[in-house]
Amino acid sequence: MNDDDPMTDFTRRTVTVNGVDKTVYVAGTGPAVVVLPEMPGISPDVLRLARWVRDAGFTVHVPSLFGTDGAFPTVEGGREVVRRACVSAEFRAFAGGGTSPVTVWLRGLARQAHTECGGPGVGAIGLCFTGNFALTMALEPAVIAPVVNHPSLPLDDPGGLELDPADARAVRERIDRDGLRVLAYRFEGDRWCTGERFAAYRALLGDAFDGRVLPATAANPAPPPFFADVVGTPHSVVTAHLVDESGHPTLRARDEILAFLTDRLHPREDPPPPATAASAGRSVSRILAASAVIKDDSGRFLLVLRASEPEAGRWSVPGGRVEEGESLEEAAAREVLEETGLAVRVLDELGSLDLAVGDGRVMEIHDFAAVQVSGEVAAADDAADARWFTAEELTALPLTDGLLDYLSRYRLYP
């Protein structure tokens, strides 16, 4: 596989999330699986994996995040792609940087793919530089089958995870709440994805982390030049270092990944819980809701005191259920007006979360940024009070569960 891949069997699309356009290559039918590129781009080996996923009965989505799409990975070209990615605002390649911002866009892609393709949820396969992205994508309720392959970030901390503390807590809560399992692979002796990193995943996720280690001797001894000369170690289990021979350990790893996706996304009889299920085997009713995070010119947050369950008597951002015929943005604006008296302009979606409200019901809440257009704050509807608070004042308030963590994850607090 020494030539560029023309990718003629994929449909090239432009996908827009929060006003940002990216190219995504799509092929197949069935539930959606997002196959992320690995350094230095969507290589022929990445596309081979994507075709295997497609042929297993899925609609594969391959987003273009860096490099030249379909290009054979050379040394010089690959080094330049790595250099650019390491200084890009979309990625957090080094320790202390937290979660890569591009994962917010990827969660939006997963949400759109689930709406289009249906099924119980979406799978996500991360590779190398994007390895941990598959785990962070699980913050999107639609993602129920994350596969973390040889995650290499942060590049300068062998035992670190490419997650800020708020996202790490949110990921653990999602995994615990919905009973998800995270499948992961690495080679023994890989200097980019070490045993220390897998231990960090285990510490974060507990038994939900299924980390599998292949012997270094199982790696393809003649990978493409970028992997031979730049990566310089057994690394890419199901792409560049895969050996396509029956019974080979790397091919078994591929088959295990396809079986994992099939089990989660193509249930045979009794389907597994949907993405927002609070517990296995329970029929779950999904309630769609929208809320708005509003800050004034001095940086104060607009909060409402909840007058009804869930979490009555606690302060939160204004929001509520989406009514029939409404978009998420329309619902967020209406709820703000009804609860606070303010007219707002709704901006980008910040993220989403699940909230179990009892009796098998789960509220799927989509949070938006918004700015005040007109009006004066006056509590109404199911808000007992509405006020502006500084960031310092929030810590003394009885807040709804996890609110500060979510504001931190959205980089709005402190």
pLDDT of residue 102: 97
Average pLDDT on 13-38 reads 96
Which residues are registered as beta bridge partners of 251? Answer: none
pLDDT above 80: residue 277: no
pLDDT computed for residue 113 by the predictor: 96
Query: For residue range 132-188, what is the model confidence (pLDDT) as tens digits?
Result: 999 999 999 999 999 999 999 999 999 999 999 999 999 999 999 999 999 999 999
Q: Residues 343-366: what's their mean pLDDT?
A: 78
Instruction: Report CA-CA distances (Å) from 348 to 71, 106, 291, 314.
Output: 33, 14, 12, 26
Fold of 285-409: Nucleoside Triphosphate Pyrophosphohydrolase (3.90.79)
pLDDT at 376 > cutoff 80: yes
What whole-number distance in Å separates Cα of residue 171 and Cα of residue 166? Answer: 9
Ordered by start, the domain boundaries in the chain are 11-265, 285-409
- How far is the CA of 96 from the CAs of 99, 153, 166, 248, in angstroms? 9, 11, 13, 38
CB 382 within 8 A of CB 312: no
Can you give the pTM of this predicted structure?
Answer: 0.68
pLDDT in tens, 74-130: 999 999 999 999 999 999 999 988 999 999 999 999 999 999 999 999 999 999 999
**The domain over range 11-265 is classified in CATH as 3.20.20.70:** no
Q: List, in order, residues 6 or more apart from 380 with CB less than 8 Å away.
A: 338, 339, 340, 341
**CA 204/CA 198 separation, integer angstroms:** 10
Q: Which pLDDT does position 356 carry in this prediction?
A: 64
Q: Work out the percent of the chain whose per-residue pLDDT is above 90.
A: 80
